[in-house]
Every structure is written in C-alpha cells, then in structure tokens.
Copies of this chain bind each other. A is one copy, B any other.
Amino acid sequence: MTQDPITLYRSMLLIRECEAQLNDLFAKNVFPGYIHSYLGQEACAVGVCSGLNDTDYVVSNHRGRGHYLAKGMALKPMMAEMLGKATGICGGRGGEMHAADPALGILGGNGIVGAGMPIGAGAALAAQMDGLGAVSVVFFGEGASNNGAFGETLNVAAAWKLPLIMVCENNLYAEMTPFVQTVGQPDVAARATGYGVASEIVDGNDVLAVRAAAGRAVDRARAGDGPTLLELKTYRWGGHFEGDPRKYRTRNEEAEWKARCPVARFRRHLLAEVGVEEDRLVTLEAAVAAEVAEAVTFALDSPLPAPETALLKVFA
C-alpha cells in the first residue's frame, strides 16, 4: 500500500491534534483516568502503518492512539472509547488503554507492558498458516524490551520465520525511569542478532525513514524470510501520563526533542523537497483540527454506557 506524502502528513496531523485535544480535556478535568500521550512519536505509527494493508495485523500497547489512528481506526468511535463512552469502538469498556477493530486488523491495546508481543506473534502465526502474505506488527516501548516476553517472542519468531515486525518505540523513558539506567547496553535493536532476528535502528522522528525501514521489514516478512526488530529512536513529549511532573528529566532535554518535532520536520520536507504549496497544508491542518474537534464534541456528547452492560459479554 503506497501512500502519497500528503496522506502521511494528514495521518500525523490527526494524531497530533487528537493528543492535543485530549490533553486539553485533561487540563479541563473532563478526562476520566490516565492519558498516555503519543505526542512526539507520530512518525513512528504513521511510518510503520502507512505500509500496511487492512489484512495486516497491528497489536498495540498502553500508548496506543497513534497506532489505532495510523492503522485507520475511525476517529469518532476511537475518541469516544478514550472517554469511556457508549459510542466508543468497544462500547466504552476498553477505555484509554484498549481499542480494537478486527476489520482493520487492529488487535487491541494492553494494560500489561510486554503482553502484546506474544499476541502479535500469535497473529503472525495465524498469518503464516493462512499463507496469504499478511504480516503482523507489534508496537512496544523500550521499557517493555526488558520483560521476559521480549526474548521469548524474538526467539519463536526467528525459529518459525514468522511474518512479525517488532517495532520498539524507544522514547528513552519507562514511566519515571530512564531506559539507560535499567540496561547494560542501550540499543534494543542490538538484542535481535543473538536471536537470529534482523534489525534496524531508525530515526523515529523521520517518517520517511521509518516508512522505508518498515517497508523493508514488511517485504522480508511477506517473502517468508521472517521477523525484523525495528528500533525507532524517539521521545514522548509529555509525561508518562498527563499530570506526571517529569522530575526525572530536564525541560532543556524536552526542548531539544521538541525542536526535532516529527510533524514540523515532515511539513518542512513537504514544502521544501516535495514542493507542496503552504496553502494546501494550512487548509489541511484546519480541516484536521475541525475533524478532531467534531470527534471530541461527539465523544463528549455521547452517553456513558449503562453500568449494567458490565454484566454482558463475559463469554461469547
């Protein structure tokens, strides 16, 4: 699936705008629960998912909105889900850490760090059995790479040559703890070789670089040549969740990373290299902002699910 640069930009904008508006709701005290903001990591989700088909699988984690939107989840039901509303894509019962859309191959988020990796491998196994060339992508943070599930997944994927792409978004922190303080070696990608898995380290703030690397990984997977681990070096602009005072890092460091903003950077690229007219982008930006605002209104206006629905669907 090739996508034109404007579509890529639009996808990044959509995420950016959603995150901004949700933070706003949080500041206004109308957001229920935690927000794990995806601000700053937009190029990761968009770069990877823009090369996928609807029949490809994506398994997300607790920081999932970027993945959901980049893989095409409808905005309104997604937004409503984040607010736990009845019109949400899971009827409001999934909430901020859980949304899914089987028709788009979006197999959910997770509240358990690392738990998505085995699940992603399972989807890859199903894809391999189906033999139709679908791939499975699992997104996780660098913190999750310290969990046992990571090694098990690398190994099984390599042993069985699963069409699995393991995408590590290395945003430097796991909650309040800097990744480098919890490891003996700071590159997650370096762990792949020992398991016989291909890997690449990519600038996670460069959507085209991510897209290219993901494309290579997808090609390899579709060809039956097995898994790839992509480590996307990036940064989360916000705290672990909104409201986190971020004492574990400097404002200076944050400013440096914001200067490497993936959205602004791609915008500059569109203007300077692709030759898109700025007007067109301005129009697009306004349109996306309006679309997100509408989705937020929709979500806010939607009713909460009836509490009794909690009793339903324990079993199929």
Contacts and interface: CB of A to CB of B under 8 A. Distances in A.
Contacts of A150: 148, 151
Contacts of A155: 146, 182-184
Contacts of A185: 158, 193-196
A20 interface: no
Interface string A203-240: 00000000000000000000000100000000000000
A129 to B, nearest CB: 18
Contact of A151 (B151, B157, B181, B193): B151
A30 interface: no
Number of copies: 2
Contact of A192 (B154, B158, B194, B197): B194
A147 interface: yes
A152 B147 contact: yes
Interface residues of A, number: 27
Contact of A158 (B158, B159, B184, B193): B184
Interface of A is mostly: helix
A181 to B, nearest CB: 7
A190 interface: yes
B190 A193 contact: yes
Interface string A296-315: 00000000000000000000
A201 interface: no
**Most chain B C-beta atoms within 10 Å of own C-beta, residue among A150, A152, A191, A226:** A191
A149 interface: yes
A151 B153 CA distance: 11
A182 B195 contact: no
Given A151-B151, A152-B146, A184 B195 contact: yes
A184 B155 CA distance: 6
**Most chain B C-beta atoms within 10 Å of own C-beta, residue among A149, A159, A161, A184:** A184
Contact of A159 (B149, B184, B196, B226): B184
Interface string A139-175: 0000000111111101101110100000000000000
Interface string A229-271: 0000000000000000000000000000000000000000000
A150 B150 CA distance: 10
A231 to B, nearest CB: 11
A137 B195 CA distance: 23
Contact of A191 (B152, B157, B181, B195): B195
A154 B194 CA distance: 12
22 contacts: A146-B151, A146-B152, A146-B155, A148-B149, A150-B151, A151-B152, A151-B191, A154-B184, A155-B183, A157-B184, A158-B183, A158-B184, A158-B185, A159-B183, A161-B184, A183-B196, A185-B194, A190-B193, A191-B195, A192-B194, A193-B193, A194-B194
Given A146-B151, A148-B151, A184-B196, 5 more contacts: A146-B152, A148-B148, A148-B152, A159-B183, A194-B194
Interface of A: 146-152, 154-155, 157-159, 161, 181-185, 190-197, 226
